[in-house]
Structure formats: structure tokens, C-alpha cells
Amino acid sequence: MTTVIADRLAQLGMTLPPPPSPRGVYVGVVIHDGIAYVSGQVSRVGDEIIAGPVDRTTPPELIRHAARTCVLRALAALAAALPSTTTVERILYLRGFVNAVPDFMNHSQVMDEASALLHEIFGESGRHARSALGVAGLPGGGLLEIELTVALARESVHAQEGAGNPSEAGPQHTDAHQRTP
């Protein structure tokens, strides 16, 4: 199953936040040979951070909100880097960094919330490989940061490569949301 991100979110009654801008010297998304690599997205709503660290007393609703926020921010960055008709073939990999106290051991459960949302949005194509890492801190003190690796549908990638782009010959490279001085 392939999915156009905006169409599927509309079916679920969800909307994407504004695409995030990188806060450093990097790009938000790189596309190479039909694979999109989405830079880390921290649990941030506008200028407000959903803060960590996570411990045993952190409310599950806060963890769920942080995970959903990160996924939607990553999808917003991806959608902004693609033509609107580009379809996602599969979510390949999700990496999560959980800002947690040293004795917290449930990093995987925190990441389950992000995985569940990707499965809800993309169905079986949203099932992915994953890593969940505990860290001592994240940018801005965020509770969670995720990175995505996404396979784009071949017909979408070929359409982009031959659609009058300056680099019609060879694979397409997209550096979305490049920071300007």
C-alpha cells in the first residue's frame, strides 16, 4: 500500500503542523535513490518544548503527546520536501532518543507510541525497524527526538526525476529546509 501523507491524515482527521525549520547547519530531509532521510524532530509545538526527562512518574498522556508530536513534525518535514502527489511506500526505520533519568528502563514503551501512530497512518506499510535509546538530554530539554527513514514509491520518484528538474539525469537529491544565514 502506498500513501500520500496529506490524504491519509485527512482521512484520520489529523493535520500536519507547519514544517519545522532546522535549527542548525543541516537540512531537514535528504532524498537519495527513492529513500528519504528525515532529520531528528524534537517534541516541540511551535516554540514550546514538551520537556523531559522521563521518569517513572511521567504521565502516559504526556509521553503519548510527545511521541505523536515528533511523528507529525517528521511527516511535516517530509511532506514539505516532496511534491504533493508523492507517495510513501513504507516506513523503513524509526530511531528514537528518549531524554530519561538514569534509572528509567522503559525507553521502548515510549517509542511504542510513535510506532503505533505510524502504523495507524500507514497501515502495514507503517511497520518498521526501530531503535530506542536513552539519553541524558536533548535539544531544548525535549522529552523525545525521532528520526525517520522512508521508502518513496518508485513511480513517484521516477516522476520527480523526469519532471523538468535541473538534474534530470541520475538520482534526485533534495535538501529541504536548508537554513539560511
Residues 125-155 have pLDDT tens digits of 999 999 999 999 999 999 999 999 999 997 7
pLDDT computed for residue 68 by the predictor: 97
> According to the model, what pLDDT value does residue 166 have?
32
Reference 39, options 78, 72, 68; nearest CA is: 78
pLDDT above 50: residue 170: no
- Mean pLDDT over 171-181 rounds to 42
The structural domain count of the chain equals 1
pLDDT at residue 101 above 50? yes
Whether 171 is covered by a domain: the verdict is: no
* DSSP, residue by residue, 50-113: -B--B-TTS-HHHHHHHHHHHHHHHHHHHHHHS-TT--EEEEEEEEEEEEB-TT---HHHHHHH
pTM: 0.85
Residue 173 in any domain: the answer is: no
The predicted pLDDT at position 172 comes to 40
In a domain, 90, yes or no: yes
In a domain? residue 49: yes
Predicted pLDDT of residue 140? 96
**Residue 57 located in a structural domain:** yes
pLDDT at 167 over 90: no
In a domain, 172, yes or no: no
pLDDT at residue 164 above 50? no
Is residue 146, in this structure, part of any structural domain at all? yes
- 44-64 pLDDT tens trace: 999 999 999 999 999 999 999
In a domain, 180, yes or no: no
Question: Helix (H, G, I), strand (E, B), or coil: what is residue 170?
Answer: coil
Spatial distance between the Cα atoms of 42 and 138, rounded to a whole number of angstroms: 8
Q: At what angle do helices 107-122 and 60-81 cross, to 10 degrees?
A: 50
Residue 6 binned pLDDT confidence (cut-offs 50, 70, 90) = confident
Domain coverage including residue 97? 5-17+28-163
What is the amino acid identity at position 136?
A: A
CATH number of the domain at 46, please: 3.30.1330.40
pLDDT tens digits, 104-118: 999 999 999 999 999
Average per-residue pLDDT for the chain: 87
Least confident of 89-103, 139-153, 164-178: 164-178
